[in-house]
Structure 1
């Protein structure tokens, strides 16, 4: 497992570090967006980091690593698990960048409330994990070429949802995260999301190799 994770980290650094740079830029732009109470660019930064597992899996399939891995002393659980662990790492990185951006926005503008902080961190976590929950199992089952069409659909849906959240002027967030229950809602939603993430993980293990048959 350690070797698989190192391989993925090396690939991320050499081939996809521009995505990390883009996410950092989005977070910085989000600092200025928070002057008006908008966290759109922070959410987009989290979304960018969330595509790491799918990108790495596409590299594996295009390079035929999935075939080469049959000769390695690793199990399919480890091969799939490395991608899901990268996804969790991407979520942790997106949360750290979001917290730094929110702290900077609070120092500059003083517009960051506890409710906005909770809502933003929750939304960033969801956007980082959501795509992988849906797309990784589909990729293992049908291959990247077919799964990418679902990926494009997910981008469109998420863009619409983020647009609705931004255009609501905070009304939508207030209805989802009431001032006195935001922490409880955060815990419940995160637990549910992680449970779905674990379910997606098991489904990917069950479907591993099906696309090659």
Structure 2
């Protein structure tokens, strides 16, 4: 497992660090745009971090590592688990970036109150996990080429849901992926549900590993 994680870390550093840079840039833009409560850039940056496991799978496929791994002394649980661990690392990194952006924003904008900070952090975590939870099982069952179409659909769906808030706010700003004024207990439930879905997705990916359609 350690070797697989080191391989993924090497690939991220040399081939996919642009995603991390883009995330930081979007978080920076979010510091400005959140002055009226619009957290789109911060939440969408978290969504981008959730792409990392699928990006690594694309590199594995291009380099034929998926075929070579059959000769390695690793189990399918370890091969699948490495990608889900990368997803969890992406979650932590996205939350740290978001917390930093929200901390800076709260020093300048009165609209960034405690409720918005908590809600935004939950949304970042939810959208970051959503990518892997949905796409990884599809990748292991149907292959990367078919799974990527589901990703395009998810991008459109998340953008549409966030844009839906435009008509719901008097100032015409899409402030939240979630409705305004969600109680803390409900936010906690959403966070727990997202983690539970991620765990279920992990088990499903292990069960479907090696069954991708040729």
TM-score by length of 2: 0.93
Q: Deviations over 1:126-147 (max 9, x none)?
A: 1101111111000001110011
Looking at secondary structure, tell me which structure has more helix per residue.
1
| 2:140 paired with 1:109 | no
Any unmatched runs of 5+ in structure 2? 170-174
Q: CA 1:104–1:89 in 2, change beyond 3 Å: closer, same or farther?
A: same
Alpha-carbon RMSD across the aligned residues, in angstroms, is: 1.5
Question: 1:119·1:173 contact (CA, 8 Å) conserved in 2?
Answer: no
Question: 1:38·1:166 contact (CA, 8 Å) conserved in 2?
Answer: no
Aligned equivalents of 2:80 and 2:97: distance in 1? 26
Aligned equivalents of 2:120 and 2:179: distance in 1? 10
Aligned equivalents of 1:64 and 1:141: distance in 2? 18
**What SS is found at the alignment partner of 2:111?**
coil
Equivalent in the alignment of 2:179: 173
Q: Deviations over 1:76-127 (max 9, x none)?
A: 0000000001101101111111110001001122321111011100111111
| 2:9 paired with 1:9 | yes
Equivalent in the alignment of 2:64: 64
Aligned equivalents of 1:124 and 1:167: distance in 2? 22
**What SS is found at the alignment partner of 2:107?**
helix
Aligned equivalents of 2:167 and 2:45: distance in 1? 19
**What SS is found at the alignment partner of 1:112?**
coil
Aligned equivalents of 1:174 and 1:151: distance in 2? 27
Q: CA 1:165–1:86 in 2, change beyond 3 Å: closer, same or farther?
A: farther
Structure 1: 4+ residue segments shifted above 6 A = none
Equivalent in the alignment of 1:124: 124
Equivalent in the alignment of 1:51: 51
Equivalent in the alignment of 1:186: 187
Equivalent in the alignment of 2:172: none
Q: Deviations over 1:149-180 (max 9, x none)?
A: 111111111110111135533596325x13xx
